[in-house]
């Protein structure tokens, strides 16, 4: 009888301990930050903030222009930095891709605009991991337009499966239409980024994303606007707004190929607004 009682007590102890351990939040050990620009022009005050956050005056950085096929992509991405006397932002395509350890210790990695699929196709798995390590080590990872889209794990490509002719925005909210590729996954896995958001009326596209994947949260960043993310805190920087869509019920339905849902949450964040990343 005593043996049975001891066994029950031991089993209960470890069961409770396991339950307590399961409730403990996973610690975010990342030291860096994300500076996600929705595209368009970059106000001088925004660049000043990016320089401040990345401590670029005391460090060095890289520009990744590979999302664009234009040879001048590095020049235009670097222009505002060079005008401020910062000359330590190197073109990653000029031999620096052999120095992965150098990337991992950079203060800033800036990904220019273009086609997000092109950027992800060019980056090797080692290079992707070096960017992730830089972020974990304390770097600011910044990107505009295509460089913003790649921050998500599920990356919006901009293409439509049912309507392959290109449009700046989706004209419908349909099941099986949106196309995702794999991004860098710097953000929590349940967050999807869309860019040029208000200016190009991309509501249908992001709504499609959160209805196809009801457990995901959509963040739409407008042009000339950035979302600075540090741990679980987000700050809107720039001239316009950031929009979030969240499917609180994590449910959606489909009828005749059309997507629907109830009780979607919409937030519109203004410049200088701060908020916790939705869970």
Residue owning tokens 């019920």:
249
- Domain assignment of residue 4, yes or no: no
Query: Residues near 3 by Cβ (< 8 Å), separated by ≥ 6?
Result: none
- Domain assignment of residue 16, yes or no: no
Give the pLDDT score at 10: 39
- Domain assignment of residue 23, yes or no: no
Q: Rounded CA gap, 99 and 130, in Å? A: 10
Q: Any idea how long the chain is? A: 279
Whether 134 contacts 109, CB under 8 Å = yes
Give the pLDDT score at 108: 96
CATH number for 101: 3.40.50.880
- Domain assignment of residue 68, yes or no: yes
- Domain assignment of residue 2, yes or no: no
Give the pLDDT score at 106: 92
- Domain assignment of residue 217, yes or no: yes
- Domain assignment of residue 14, yes or no: no
Whether 111 contacts 143, CB under 8 Å = yes
Give the pLDDT score at 165: 87
Q: Rounded CA gap, 275 and 211, in Å? A: 23
Q: Rounded CA gap, 3 and 111, in Å? A: 64
- Rounded to 5 degrees, φ, ψ at 203 are -60, -45
Give the pLDDT score at 171: 93
Residue owning tokens 């505002």:
80
Domain count, the chain: 1
Domain that holds residue 152: 29-276
- Domain assignment of residue 15, yes or no: no
Give the pLDDT score at 6: 39
Give the pLDDT score at 3: 46
Q: Rounded to two decimals, what is the model's pTM?
A: 0.87
3-state secondary structure of 249: coil
Per-residue pLDDT of the chain (279 residues; tens, 9 = 90+): 444 443 333 344 444 444 333 333 334 567 899 999 999 999 999 999 999 999 988 889 999 999 999 889 999 999 999 999 888 788 888 765 556 778 899 999 999 999 999 999 999 999 999 999 999 999 999 999 999 999 999 999 999 999 988 888 899 999 999 999 999 999 999 999 999 999 999 999 999 999 999 999 999 999 999 999 999 899 999 999 999 999 988 999 999 999 999 999 999 999 999 999 876
Give the pLDDT score at 279: 67
């Amino acid at each position: 009888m005593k043996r049975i009682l001891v066994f029950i007590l031991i089993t209960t102890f470890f069961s409770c301990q396991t339950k307590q351990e399961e409730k403990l939040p996973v610690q975010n050990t990342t030291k860096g930050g994300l500076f996600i620009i929705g595209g368009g022009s970059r106000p001088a005050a925004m660049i000043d903030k990016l320089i401040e956050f990345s401590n670029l005056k005391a460090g060095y950085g890289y520009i990744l222009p590979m999302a664009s096929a234009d040879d001048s992509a590095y020049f235009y991405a670097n222009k505002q930095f060079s005008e401020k006397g910062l000359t330590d932002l190197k073109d990653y395509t000029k031999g620096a891709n052999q120095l992965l350890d150098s990337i991992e210790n950079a203060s800033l990695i800036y990904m220019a605009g273009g086609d997000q699929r092109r950027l992800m196709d060019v980056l090797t798995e080692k290079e992707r991991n070096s960017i992730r390590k830089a972020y974990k080590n304390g770097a600011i990872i910044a990107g505009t337009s295509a460089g913003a889209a790649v921050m998500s794990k599920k990356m919006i490509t901009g293409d439509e499966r049912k309507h392959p002719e290109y449009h700046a925005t989706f004209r419908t909210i349909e099941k099986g239409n949106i196309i995702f590729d794999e991004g860098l996954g710097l953000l929590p896995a349940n967050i999807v980024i869309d860019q040029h958001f208000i200016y190009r009326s991309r509501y249908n596209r992001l709504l499609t994303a959160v209805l196809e994947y009801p457990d995901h949260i959509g963040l739409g960043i407008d042009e000339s606007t950035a979302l600075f993310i540090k741990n679980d805190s987000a700050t809107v920087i720039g001239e316009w707004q950031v929009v979030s869509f969240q499917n609180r019920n994590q449910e959606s339905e489909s009828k005749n190929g059309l997507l629907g849902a109830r009780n979607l949450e919409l937030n519109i964040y203004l410049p200088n607004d701060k908020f916790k990343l939705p869970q």
